[in-house]
Amino acid sequence: MAEVYNWQIGREMEYPYAESRPEKQWGAVFDINKCIACQTCTLSCKTTWTHGEGQEHMFWNNVETKPYGSHPLEWDKEILDRLGVQEWTEEDGEYVYEGDTIFEANDVDWEEMAPDDDPENIHGQDIEGYRPDDEDWAHPNIGEDEPTGEAIESDTHIPEGEEHPTWFFYLPRLCNHCSFAGCAGGCPIQAVYKRQEDGIVLIDEESCQAFQECVRACPYGKSIFNPEKGNSQKCVGCYPKVEQGLVPQCFENCLGKIRQHGWINPPEEADSSNPIDYLVHDAEVALPLYPQLGLEPNVYYIPPINVPDDYLVQMFGPRVTEAKETYQAARRGDEEYRKLRGLIHLMGSTEWRVEEFEVTDEEAIGYDGDGSTVARVPMEEPQYERDRFDEDNDAYRLDIA
Amino acid sequence: MTEPNTESTTALDHVHRARLYKLASLAFDRPDEELEEALVSGTFADQLLESAAALENDDLEEHARAVVEASPTDAAGVDELYSDWSSLFGFETGGDIRQYQIEYSPGTLVTSGDTLADIAGFYRAFGLSIAEGNRERADHLCIELEFLSHLALQTAYLENEGDETGVAVVTDAQGDFLEDHLGRWIGSFRETVAEEVDVEFYRALGALVDTLVGDDTDRFGAEPKTFEETPPSPLEGLNDGEGDFRCGTCGPTSSGSTPEMPMGDRDGPY
Specify the 3-state DSSP secondary structure of B51: helix
- Whether residue A200 is predicted with pLDDT greater than 50 in this model: the reply is yes
When pLDDT is averaged across residues B69-92 and rounded to a whole number, the result is 91
> Please, which pLDDT band fits residue A173 given cuts at 50, 70 and 90?
very high
Pick the CATH number of B11-245 from 3.30.70.1280, 1.10.3480.10, 1.10.3080.10, 3.40.228.10: 1.10.3480.10
> Please, which pLDDT band fits residue B230 given cuts at 50, 70 and 90?
low
- Whether residue B248 is predicted with pLDDT greater than 50 in this model: the reply is no
CA distance B141 to B127: 19
Closest Cβ–Cβ partner in B252, B261, B266 for A184: B261
The predicted pLDDT at position B219 comes to: 95
**For testing contact with chain B, the best of A21, A113, A204 (most B CBs within 10 A):** A204
**Which chain B residues are Cβ-neighbours of A190 within 8 angstroms?**
253, 258, 262, 269
Q: Residue A202: beta bridge partners? A: A193
Cβ proximity of A222 and A234 under 8 Å:
yes
Closest-CA residue to A206 (of B252, B192, B80): B252
Q: Which residue of chain B has the CA closest to A240?
A: B266
**Which chain A residues are Cβ-neighbours of B269 within 8 angstroms?**
190-191, 193, 202, 204, 207
**Which chain A residues are Cβ-neighbours of B268 within 8 angstroms?**
204, 206
**Which chain B residues are Cβ-neighbours of A191 within 8 angstroms?**
253, 262, 269
A82-102 per-position pLDDT tens digit: 999 999 999 888 999 999 999
The predicted pLDDT at position B116 comes to: 95
The predicted pLDDT at position B229 comes to: 67
Residue ranges per domain, chain B? 11-245
Closest Cβ–Cβ partner in B135, B251, B258 for A115: B258
> Please, which pLDDT band fits residue A123 given cuts at 50, 70 and 90?
confident
Contact check, Cβ <8 Å, B266/A193: no
Cα–Cα distances (Å) from A176 to A49, A296, B59, B126, B196, in that order, read 17, 8, 62, 50, 44
With vertex at residue B117, the alpha carbon angle to CA B1 and CA B17, rounded to the nearest 5 degrees, is 50
Kindly state whether B263 is in contact with chain A, defined as any CB-CB distance less than 8 angstroms: yes
- Chain A residues within 8 angstroms (CB to CB) of chain B: 17-20, 22, 114-117, 134, 180-181, 184-185, 187, 189-197, 202, 204-207, 227-230, 239, 243
- Whether residue B100 is predicted with pLDDT greater than 50 in this model: the reply is yes
**Which chain A residues are Cβ-neighbours of B87 within 8 angstroms?**
none
> Please, which pLDDT band fits residue B251 given cuts at 50, 70 and 90?
very low
A119, containing H or E segment: none
Cβ proximity of B89 and B99 under 8 Å:
yes
Instruction: Give residue B166's Cα distance to chain centre.
Output: 27
Cβ proximity of A112 and A105 under 8 Å:
no
3 state SS for A340-357: HHHHHHHCCCCCECCCEE
- Whether residue A390 is predicted with pLDDT greater than 60 in this model: the reply is yes
Cβ proximity of B18 and B159 under 8 Å:
no
What residues have CB less than 8 Å from B122, skipping those under 6 apart?
B147, B173, B176, B177, B181
B113-162 per-position pLDDT tens digit: 999 999 999 999 999 999 888 888 999 999 999 999 999 999 999 999 99
When pLDDT is averaged across residues A257-265 and rounded to a whole number, the result is 98
Q: Which residue of chain B has the CA closest to A52?
A: B235
Contact check, Cβ <8 Å, A207/B135: no
**Which chain A residues are Cβ-neighbours of B255 within 8 angstroms?**
117
CA distance B77 to B109: 35
CA distance A220 to A316: 14
**CB pairs A-B closer than 8 Å:** 84
**For testing contact with chain B, the best of A6, A15, A19, A20 (most B CBs within 10 A):** A20
CA distance B116 to B23: 24
Kindly state whether B236 is in contact with chain A, defined as any CB-CB distance less than 8 angstroms: no
- Whether residue B109 is predicted with pLDDT greater than 90 in this model: the reply is no
User: What ipTM was predicted for this assembly?
Assistant: 0.75
The predicted pLDDT at position B92 comes to: 64
Largest alpha-carbon pair distance within chain B?
Answer: 77
Distance between first and last Cα of chain B: 65
Backbone angles phi, psi at A126, to 5 degrees: -105, 10
Contact check, Cβ <8 Å, A17/B261: yes
Cβ proximity of A102 and A128 under 8 Å:
yes
pLDDT, averaged across chain A: 95
CA distance A46 to A253: 12
Contact check, Cβ <8 Å, A207/B265: no
B21-37 per-position pLDDT tens digit: 999 999 999 999 999 99
> Please, which pLDDT band fits residue B259 given cuts at 50, 70 and 90?
low
A293-314 core/surface letters (b: 16 or more CB in 10 A; e: else) = bbbbbbbbbbbbbbbeeebbbe
Q: Return the DSSP state at B227.
A: P
Domain A3-147+162-326 in CATH 3.30.70.20: yes
- Whether residue A36 is predicted with pLDDT greater than 90 in this model: the reply is yes
Cβ proximity of B5 and B219 under 8 Å:
yes
B98, containing H or E segment: none
**Which chain B residues are Cβ-neighbours of A202 within 8 angstroms?**
264, 269
Contact check, Cβ <8 Å, B269/A207: yes
Q: Which residue of chain A has the CA closest to B90?
A: A228
Q: Residue A26: beta bridge partners? A: A263
Kindly state whether B239 is in contact with chain A, defined as any CB-CB distance less than 8 angstroms: no
The predicted pLDDT at position B250 comes to: 42
Kindly state whether B8 is in contact with chain A, defined as any CB-CB distance less than 8 angstroms: no
**For testing contact with chain B, the best of A50, A118, A195 (most B CBs within 10 A):** A195
Q: Return the DSSP state at B243.
A: S
Q: Which residue of chain A has the CA closest to B108?
A: A53
A359, containing H or E segment: strand A356-359
Residue ranges per domain, chain A? 3-147+162-326
Kindly state whether B113 is in contact with chain A, defined as any CB-CB distance less than 8 angstroms: no
The predicted pLDDT at position B247 comes to: 43
Cβ proximity of B173 and B6 under 8 Å:
no
pLDDT, averaged across chain B: 88
Cβ neighbours, 10 Å, residue A87: 10
Cα–Cα distances (Å) from B124 to B118, B130, B176, in that order, read 10, 10, 15
Task: Name the more confident of A205 and A112.
Answer: A205
- Whether residue B254 is predicted with pLDDT greater than 50 in this model: the reply is no
- Whether residue A278 is predicted with pLDDT greater than 90 in this model: the reply is yes
The predicted pLDDT at position B252 comes to: 40
| Count of alpha carbons within 13 angstroms of residue A68, beta-carbon side | 11
What residues have CB less than 8 Å from A356, skipping those under 6 apart?
A273, A274, A275, A366, A367, A371
B158-194 per-position pLDDT tens digit: 999 999 999 999 999 999 999 999 999 999 999 999 9
A42-59 per-position pLDDT tens digit: 999 999 999 999 999 999
The predicted pLDDT at position B3 comes to: 85
The predicted pLDDT at position B231 comes to: 53
Cβ proximity of A59 and A39 under 8 Å:
no
With vertex at residue B38, the alpha carbon angle to CA B34 and CA B39, rounded to the nearest 5 degrees, is 115
Q: Which residue of chain A has the CA closest to B247?
A: A240
DSSP H helical segments within A162-301, as ranges?
Answer: 182-186, 213-217, 239-242, 249-252, 275-277
